[in-house]
Amino acid sequence: MPDSTRLNGETQPRQLPSPNGGQSSSAPRPRLGQWGRPIPDPGLAVCTRDLSKWYRHPWTGRVFRGVESLDLEVRRGEVMGYLGPNGAGKT
């Protein structure tokens, strides 16, 4: 069994070696986001860099820009609104 060992007839999880050699580390570990990437600032609720979105019209096939090169930061506790005409790609 690669992920467990047997001890007195019971399956026990295997202890993996500590990455720092068993030494305690006083440095805080970075918080990780949904895909395992570090969260840049824990005070940010929303953060995007260079976001672009292009749409293709379903009948004509014409491609148009909804958003281009948007940088946005919304901190925890802030209220933010995004206004624009219908069909402008706000969603």
In angstroms, rounded to a whole number, what is the distance separating the alpha carbons of residues 45 and 75?
5
pLDDT, one tens digit per residue, over 5-46 is: 455 555 555 555 555 555 555 666 666 777 777 766 778 888
Segments making up each domain of the chain, as ranges: 42-77
Count other C-beta atoms under 10 Å from residue 45's C-beta.
Answer: 13
pTM metric for this prediction = 0.44
